[in-house]
Structure 1
Amino acid sequence: MLVWTFYNAYMPLILGDFIESAAIRGGIMGLDNLLAVLLIPVIGAWSDRINTRIGNRLPFLVVGMPVAALFFMLIPYGAMVTLWVLLVVDIIFLFAMTIYRAPVIALMPDHTPPEKRSSANGIINFMGGVGAIIALFGLSALYGIDRTYPFIAAGLLLLLSFLLLYITVDRNPPYAEVAGDELSGLQESGSSFWKSLARLKDPEFRGHLFILTAIFIYFIGYSGVEAQFTIYAVEFLGMDESSAGFTLGFFSLSFVLFAIPAGLIGNRWGKAPVMLIGLVMLPLVFITIPSAPMLSQAIPGLDATLLLQMLLLLGGVFWAFINVQAYPLVADLGGKKKIGYFTGLYYLFSMASSIVAPGFLGLLMDVFTHPALEYCDQIEPLVRSFEPAFAEHRAT
């Protein structure tokens, strides 16, 4: 999470050295996820079937994690050459991350009984949130000193993570079984992941499809905000690059603080009801954020940046309600033999939205930014015209 968070926050700014349009930068960030969407589900299902001396998940970690760490460290150096070198380095980095992403996530349900998976995912999200905080607070400060420093630090930490996992992971975890060539249910229709995907439309799997579709839709909102927030903060709010990443860190901070409580609440109230609370409240927070500068002017002594940070703190709480429950909910659908397969489905639907979201939101920013500002300028005098009436009402 440390690597992904820093990448999502600062890669658009690095691309900004070569590309001015927010839509094109967002489109490139979205296209980065295309490789993941195509391969992660297949690799997740593959990791259910293979059986090696070091288990069925670790082989993917052995290949993917060291290569990803190396090429992540090379990203700022690629940017020093040309855009094309940067993109080649970026694609290799993303391919390496794709190789191990589903297998490393599937390790949690491999080691955890279903009734404890919300709590376990809360702990995982807590640790991932710690990585995000380090990325947005610590690495953002390093970025302000030298652009290469945070990439080197993050790459070394990724290597350390690989070594710790290799040493500690159970080669024969208690809650997973190696699947055969043909899995029951969804994968009976053929050995191909993509052929078996078509069975989601069957009546018996329609509930599965609704859950996965909901994940796709809400990730459009989250991924778009995450990918474009630093651009919004720098180019609209006038923050410097380091402060923009620092401010986004407040979202991750509250997510970390509430990840474990959200998991415990999910165990008690149920995964779906807790997700619904977050899915109602988080959009309300996002809708309020563009009004932060105007709201801060209406409240004496309230700084716009502070108000924005408070809103992001609140948003992180509701994001924990959503995100902590989502993967365990999907993993439970897979039983013991299809954990990797359903992990792949989770990433297929969540990351497919990441292809659409950054470019779509960037296009909205390109098209509507100035008219929206003019509209706000027209609204403010209208609001101020009511102040005498408000004063008279308070007096009476």
Structure 2
Amino acid sequence: MKKQKDVSYVKIAAIGSGFFALMLVWTFYNAYMPLILGDYIESRAVRGAIMGLDNLLAVILIPVIGTWSDRIDTRIGNRLPFIVAGMPVAAIFFILIPYGAAVTLWVLLIIDVIFLLAMTVYRAPVIALMPDHTPSEKRSTANGVINLMGGIGALAALFGLSAVYGIDRAYPFIIAGLLLLLAFLILYFTVDRNPPYADTSNEEFSETQPPSTFFKGIKSLKKPEFRGQLFILIAIFLYFIGYSGIEAQFTVYGVEYLNMDESSAGFTLGFFSLAFVIFAVPAGLLGSKLGKAPLMLTGLILLPLIFTAVPSLPGLQTFFPNLNEVYVLQGVLFTGGIAWAFVNVQAYPLVADLGGKRKIGFFTGLYYLFSMASSIIAPGLLGLLMDIFSPPFLFYGAAVTFLVAFYFLRKGALIVKNIST
């Protein structure tokens, strides 16, 4: 049995560098890939559908890899082999995206698929490193630190890389790719090969192949005793539809509806991430004191109120001619980022606790299955609402998903609480 030791937040921050690079890349990709696709495709729904199809591969592989990383045992541990295989390849092909876009749509899509495949190889294992190094009662706080690092990455993407994008489209991809390589080196030389809170014993598993382990686990969610866990995962799926849709389509809304330039649209979205960074650690502390589910429910009530206000902002200039619409929009998005911190900082620790420490990788995989499955349909679905009705329906559609997610999370949390008591 491994000897447990105190949490090292220096090490947690080092692990967070992987999340920093991941969020830097994903945030910039989700904000600007729809605009790059716009060079070839006019329809917002079609662009969104392509973004969603890209994530199909991730949905299939990430849960299996998460479970596989619970089982594998190598001289460099169970998570690092996947990180070694994925991060460098993802960095190289991310750098190639703008160059592929300059050739043809098909070259761009081939590079994109390879990039996404490499990202799926390391995503679940790099996130599972945090609970591997942290006891259950400290995971909300540690996840606050992790999300702080991720939020800084998102800020760097939307404030820093957006400005560089205005100079040359290729520059931000090169910078982000190099930072992803740097994060890989930090992780490789920092994380424990045998972390104190991980259990890679195979005694819990009767299957010999990771895929069979995962899909058998999926079937167990149909059992009545897992009804609460299933409802919580459904809630995560629903609210990520709203979040992923806004993340992927906001720059399109800003450029094509508000007539903002591409760099300004990304910069404005950055205020959402700025609030998330500021409130990530406080949200983690609040979750430890007040409970993960109650704080998530609070955020899911606030988000619809905030986002349904966005479409009304252009009309305010009728009554306030000197009002700067962009500044007000940035302020509203900042408020939304606070509410999102209440939700997202708690979500992964809540799911990680559902299966105990022996199945952290499995439930990490489930978390990404349900959250990334949203990414398959969210950009296309909300883009379709924008095409059929008008661009402001991006925010109305997202608000509905948050409200329905509130219902499922509340119901699931009550069931799980009753079971545990």
**TM-score, normalised with respect to structure 2:** 0.86
- For 2:177 and 2:222, the matched residues in 1 are separated by 41
- For 2:342 and 2:91, the matched residues in 1 are separated by 31
Amino acid at match of 2:350: L
Q: How many residues are paired up?
A: 370
1:211 aligns with 2:250: no
Which of 221, 226, 244 is the equivalent residue of 2:242?
A: 221
- For 1:219 and 1:370, the matched residues in 2 are separated by 19
- For 2:323 and 2:133, the matched residues in 1 are separated by 48
- For 1:136 and 1:255, the matched residues in 2 are separated by 13
Equivalent residue number for residue 67 of structure 1: 89
Amino acid at match of 1:117: R
Tell me, what secondary structure is at the counterpart of 1:52? coil
Counterparts of 1:131-146 in structure 2, within 5 Å, are: 131-146=153-168
- For 2:254 and 2:66, the matched residues in 1 are separated by 36
1:253 aligns with 2:274: yes
Q: Which runs of 5+ in 2 are unaligned?
A: 1-22, 394-421
Alpha-carbon shift at residue 344 of structure 1 (Å): 0.2
- For 1:130 and 1:371, the matched residues in 2 are separated by 28
1:40 aligns with 2:65: no
1:353 aligns with 2:374: yes
- For 1:150 and 1:64, the matched residues in 2 are separated by 20
Which of 331, 338, 358 is the equivalent residue of 1:310?
A: 331
Equivalent residue number for residue 178 of structure 1: 200
Spell out, residue by residue over 1:103-159, the C-alpha distance to the aligned partner (whole angstroms, 9 max, x if none).
000000000011111111111111101011110011011100000000000000000
Amino acid at match of 1:193: F
- For 2:145 and 2:301, the matched residues in 1 are separated by 24
Which of 361, 364, 369 is the equivalent residue of 2:385?
A: 364
Equivalent residue number for residue 26 of structure 1: 48
Bigger Cα displacement from structure 2, 288-297 vs 57-66: 288-297
- For 2:187 and 2:347, the matched residues in 1 are separated by 24
Amino acid at match of 1:200: L
1:191 aligns with 2:212: yes
Query: Is the Cα contact below 8 Å between 2:25 and 2:157 reproduced in 1?
Result: yes
Query: Is the Cα contact below 8 Å between 1:27 and 1:355 reproduced in 2?
Result: yes
- For 1:305 and 1:117, the matched residues in 2 are separated by 37
Spell out, residue by residue over 1:297-330, the C-alpha distance to the aligned partner (whole angstroms, 9 max, x if none).
3235321111100100000000000000000000
- For 2:381 and 2:226, the matched residues in 1 are separated by 30
Tell me, what secondary structure is at the counterpart of 1:338? helix
- For 2:40 and 2:322, the matched residues in 1 are separated by 39
**TM-score, normalised with respect to structure 1:** 0.91
Which of 308, 312, 325 is the equivalent residue of 1:291?
A: 312
Which of 330, 341, 344 is the equivalent residue of 2:362?
A: 341
Amino acid at match of 2:83: L
Equivalent residue number for residue 388 of structure 1: none
Amino acid at match of 2:242: G
Amino acid at match of 2:155: I
Alpha-carbon shift at residue 333 of structure 1 (Å): 1.3
Alpha-carbon shift at residue 335 of structure 1 (Å): 1.3
Query: Is the Cα contact below 8 Å between 2:62 and 2:368 reproduced in 1?
Result: yes
Percent identity of equivalent pairs: 74
Alpha-carbon shift at residue 205 of structure 1 (Å): 1.1
Query: Is the Cα contact below 8 Å between 1:122 and 1:260 reproduced in 2?
Result: yes
1:112 aligns with 2:112: no
Equivalent residue number for residue 57 of structure 1: 79
Equivalent residue number for residue 383 of structure 1: none
- For 1:280 and 1:107, the matched residues in 2 are separated by 31
- For 1:204 and 1:370, the matched residues in 2 are separated by 42
Spell out, residue by residue over 1:273-315, the C-alpha distance to the aligned partner (whole angstroms, 9 max, x if none).
0000000001111111111111243235321111100100000
Tell me, what secondary structure is at the counterpart of 2:151? helix
Counterparts of 1:375-386 in structure 2, within 5 Å, are: none
Query: Is the Cα contact below 8 Å between 1:182 and 1:191 reproduced in 2?
Result: no
Alpha-carbon shift at residue 334 of structure 1 (Å): 2.2
Amino acid at match of 2:185: L
Which of 92, 114, 123 is the equivalent residue of 1:92?
A: 114
Alpha-carbon shift at residue 331 of structure 1 (Å): 0.4
Query: Is the Cα contact below 8 Å between 2:86 and 2:122 reproduced in 1?
Result: yes
Spell out, residue by residue over 1:67-105, the C-alpha distance to the aligned partner (whole angstroms, 9 max, x if none).
000000000000011000000000000000000000000
1:240 aligns with 2:264: no
Q: Which runs of 5+ in 1 are unaligned?
A: 373-396
Equivalent residue number for residue 30 of structure 2: 8
- For 2:330 and 2:26, the matched residues in 1 are separated by 21
Which of 297, 302, 310 is the equivalent residue of 1:281?
A: 302
1:268 aligns with 2:289: yes
- For 2:75 and 2:351, the matched residues in 1 are separated by 28
- For 2:391 and 2:230, the matched residues in 1 are separated by 39
Amino acid at match of 2:226: F
Amino acid at match of 2:119: M
Equivalent residue number for residue 326 of structure 1: 347
- For 2:291 and 2:217, the matched residues in 1 are separated by 29
RMSD: 1.8
Amino acid at match of 2:390: T
Query: Is the Cα contact below 8 Å between 1:181 and 1:191 reproduced in 2?
Result: no
